[in-house]
Structure 1
């Protein structure tokens, strides 16, 4: 059975646009998934990326066109400049890490709930009430927002180190135990074909 290490940031609009398609592909092929939320700004600093605010105006202008186009193609609502972007990704990431350890809910739905809260509902995903609401909506105990903060912080740091070792440089990023890696929501179809043995 294949395994996917799923590296992502809860701040990434393109991870939001992935929806739960990766989870559908993994289920189709019986692949297991480890969710590895990480600090995208720290990843950029380690792998040659540039924070949005520091990108050339031409790149920012293209992003402003590309994001609504992609969202429209996927049939997803999107707020181009949400009220709480950027925000602190650590609380939502810690919640995902705690939920993965605790089990009992739907991790794909949880990750997407945070991303939707940021990019559609314009909520601050660093706030405790938002974290609890997302946990509840995905079938997890909202008390996970309070538990495992130390281990969550340690895992969050370790996820970054794992990402750098795995040559990850963006979000979403899917690394299969075959050694093949796929960057971006527009590569989920290629991930599907790879797991099928066609690519």
Structure 2
């Protein structure tokens, strides 16, 4: 079975705009996804990136134009300046890690629900009630938001180290088991094409 590592931050508008396309691609190619949420601020600090708050105004203006263009092109509802962004992405990331470890629900749905809560639902994804609702909606036990904290924190930190070692520098970032890397939701078609190629 083909394997893909999916590195992302739950705070990324670009990961939100990926929607369920990664899961659709994986399903078509019989590939398995390992979800690896991480701290994007620390990743930027380790790999030469600049947090949005520190970017030049012209870059931020262009970013906004791109967000509007892509959300319209993909027909995805989006508040481009959400009420609760930035926020603490760690609790939601811990819940994703715990859910992946336990299994039994729909991981793609969970990840997308959390990001949609931020970018379209005007909810604070650092709040327990929001996280638990997303877990429940995706078929997971909502108590994972409470029980997976320690293991989640350890894996969250390890995901960052794995990302740096693997050459990840942004979100969303997809790595195939043959080492091919794809950065950004706008590279999902290229990922699909790559997985379609005969060995």
2:88 aligned counterpart, secondary structure: coil
Distance 2:32 2:143 in 1: 26
Q: Could you say which residue in structure 1 is the equivalent of 2:116?
A: 116
User: Which consecutive segments of 4 or more residues in structure 1 shift more than 3 A?
Assistant: none
2:115 aligned counterpart, secondary structure: helix
| Matching of residues 100-139 of structure 1 within 5 Å | 100-139=100-139
Kindly provide the CA deviation profile for residues 81-101 of structure 1, in whole angstroms up to 9, marking residues without a partner as x: 100000000000000000000
State whether structure 2 residue 198 is matched by structure 1 residue 194: no
2:36 aligned counterpart, secondary structure: strand
2:147 aligned counterpart, secondary structure: coil
CA drift of 1:198 comes to 6.6
Distance 1:198 1:113 in 2: 34
Distance 1:107 1:15 in 2: 14
Q: Could you say which residue in structure 2 is the equivalent of 1:50?
A: 50
TM-score normalized by the length of structure 1: 0.98
Kindly provide the CA deviation profile for residues 166-187 of structure 1, in whole angstroms up to 9, marking residues without a partner as x: 0000000000011100000011
Distance 1:34 1:61 in 2: 33
Q: Could you say which residue in structure 2 is the equivalent of 1:31?
A: 31
Q: Could you say which residue in structure 2 is the equivalent of 1:97?
A: 97
Q: Could you say which residue in structure 1 is the equivalent of 2:21?
A: 21
Kindly provide the CA deviation profile for residues 54-80 of structure 1, in whole angstroms up to 9, marking residues without a partner as x: 000110110111101000000001101
The unaligned stretches of length 5 or more in structure 1 are none
Q: Could you say which residue in structure 2 is the equivalent of 1:75?
A: 75
The unaligned stretches of length 5 or more in structure 2 are none
TM-score normalized by the length of structure 2: 0.98
Number of equivalences: 199
Distance 2:151 2:80 in 1: 34
1:146 aligned counterpart, secondary structure: helix
2:4 aligned counterpart, secondary structure: strand
CA drift of 1:6 comes to 0.3
Distance 1:198 1:53 in 2: 43
